[in-house]
């Protein structure tokens, strides 16, 4: 099979975690005789430094002419504490999501038993955790009208019915394939936009009568995620609540460095780790590449390459169980980002040339 993949390394640790994923793609291509045509584009702070624009037109063109997009991370501290900055790296990511209409962001949360002890939560709380978050990605407070004067600012949270229906349809269908439980997380006791989400989910539920629907306010959900996370199967929620609850849920697995994601619209698909650009680690070869590598597995799965994807899942599990991991996963280990990448490639190619030290 031949596939063209847009490679957007982005900022901070983005380039190095993407580098490991490229090795994985090359190994899969060699093993299964596929051809992956990889073409690189600029986004985020690196694009601002090079062109002044966080999302150059050429990057959008590249993404639109590719079968899939792999993105590293976006963000640069030199913009973070500068409220006067007129252009920001994150604008590149938000504009890309919006221009490709990537309205559904899927974030699966899995706990690997070998590293459950790394989570700050008690191991018994983590038994049977297996959930997936469907986060709406192109609407809500992120994209509503913004106003700024010298003495007030405002961000409008606006949702249209069709924006809610299309993500909820995907979430209902996913629940049907899984444990048939769907939880809408909102703030319907306060927000009009949340009441619309609730009404739409209620209306849609009759078309998915095999799915048990529940509703939680975001504040309660944040607590439930810590005290009883195994109650969740599929979560569906708005852009901002999904952003927050998914970082919280990453704690269950022991590291944000393990969470992959896929974003879908009607035409394009983008794969990226949930974590950010982790600038303190940039260039040090210490970042965990597994979230990005698992995002590649989601991409291959969507290409219909099921065996290839399951090879990656198996290799990542093997890496974790053999303790060949970066420092975030095991403080006693200092394997480099690139070493973990090499180890997974060796697993994929079933070479046993790497000796654990």
Burial class for 76, CB neighbours closer than 10 Å (0-12, 13-18, 19+): buried
Which of 163/243 has CB closer to ligand IPM? 243
What does 144 bind: Mg ion, ligand IPM, none (CB cut-off 5 to 8 Å by kind)? none
Q: What is the DSSP letter of 354?
A: P
Cβ 243 to Mg ion shortest distance, Å: 4
The CA R_g of the chain, rounded to the nearest whole Å, is 20
What does 330 bind: Mg ion, ligand IPM, none (CB cut-off 5 to 8 Å by kind)? none
The span from the CA of 292 to the CA of 298, in Å, is 10
Which whole-number Å values give the CA distances from 330 to 226, 254, 287, 311, 322, in the listed order?
22, 10, 12, 24, 11
Is residue 19 at the binding interface for ligand IPM, with CB under 6 A as the rule?
Answer: no
Which of 90/186 has CB closer to ligand IPM? 90
Near ligand IPM in 276-305, by CB under 6 A: 276
Is residue 136 at the binding interface for ligand IPM, with CB under 6 A as the rule?
Answer: no
* 219 in active site: yes
The span from the CA of 245 to the CA of 135, in Å, is 10
Judged by CB under 6 A, the residue of 74, 236, 256, 312 near ligand IPM is: 74
Cβ 26 to Mg ion shortest distance, Å: 29
Q: What is the DSSP letter of 331?
A: T
Which of 278/324 has CB closer to ligand IPM? 278
Near ligand IPM in 230-249, by CB under 6 A: 243
Would residue 139 be called left, alpha or beta, if left means φ above 0 and alpha means ψ between -120 and 50 degrees? beta
Q: Active site residue: 142, 264, 324, 335, which one?
A: 142
The strands making up 234-237's β-sheet, listed across from edge to edge, are 35-40, 2-10, 68-73, 269-273, 260-264, 104-110, 130-136, 234-237, 181-186, 212-217
Judged by CB under 6 A, the residue of 6, 93, 104, 346 near ligand IPM is: 93
Q: Active site residue: 243, 285, 328, 330, which one?
A: 243
The span from the CA of 97 to the CA of 186, in Å, is 22
* 247 in active site: yes
First to last CA, the chain: 38
Is residue 90 at the binding interface for ligand IPM, with CB under 6 A as the rule?
Answer: yes
Which of 19/76 has CB closer to ligand IPM? 76
Is residue 75 at the binding interface for ligand IPM, with CB under 6 A as the rule?
Answer: yes
Q: Active site residue: 53, 67, 130, 247, which one?
A: 247
* 243 in active site: yes
Interface positions with ligand IPM (CB under 6 A): 74-75, 90, 93, 243, 274, 276
Catalytic residues: 142, 187, 219, 243, 247
């Amino acid at each position: 099979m031949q596939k063209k993949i847009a490679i957007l390394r982005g900022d901070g640790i983005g380039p190095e975690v993407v580098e490991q994923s490229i090795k994985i793609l090359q190994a899969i291509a060699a093993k299964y005789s596929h051809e992956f045509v990889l073409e690189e584009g600029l986004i985020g702070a690196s694009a601002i430094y090079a062109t002044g624009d966080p999302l150059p037109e050429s990057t959008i063109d590249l993404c639109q002419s590719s079968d899939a997009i792999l993105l590293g991370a976006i963000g640069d501290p030199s913009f973070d504490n500068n409220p006067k900055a007129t252009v920001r790296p994150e604008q590149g990511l938000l504009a890309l999501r919006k221009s490709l209409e990537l309205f559904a962001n899927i974030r699966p949360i899995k706990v690997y038993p070998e590293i459950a002890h790394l989570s700050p939560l008690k191991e018994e709380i983590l038994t049977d955790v297996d959930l997936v978050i469907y986060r709406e990605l192109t609407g809500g407070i992120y994209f509503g009208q913004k106003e700024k004067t010298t003495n007030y600012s405002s961000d409008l949270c606006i949702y249209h019915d069709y924006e809610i229906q299309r993500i909820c349809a995907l979430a209902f269908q996913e629940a049907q394939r899984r444990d048939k439980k769907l939880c809408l997380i909102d703030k319907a006791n306060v927000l009009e936009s949340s009441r619309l989400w609730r009404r739409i989910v209620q209306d849609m539920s009759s078309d998915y009568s095999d799915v048990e629907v529940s509703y939680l306010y975001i504040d309660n959900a944040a607590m439930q995620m810590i005290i009883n996370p195994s109650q969740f199967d599929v979560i569906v929620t708005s852009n901002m609540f999904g952003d927050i609850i998914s970082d919280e849920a990453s704690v269950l697995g022991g590291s944000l460095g393990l969470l992959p994601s896929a974003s879908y619209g009607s035409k394009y698909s983008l794969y990226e780790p949930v974590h950010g650009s982790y600038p303190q680690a940039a260039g040090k070869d210490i970042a965990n590449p597994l979230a990005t590598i698992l995002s590649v597995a989601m991409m291959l799965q969507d290409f219909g390459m099921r065996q290839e994807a399951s090879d990656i899942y198996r290799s990542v599990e093997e890496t974790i169980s053999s303790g060949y991991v970066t420092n975030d996963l095991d403080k006693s280990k200092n394997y480099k980002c690139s070493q973990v990448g090499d180890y997974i490639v060796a697993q994929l190619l079933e070479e046993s040339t790497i000796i654990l030290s």
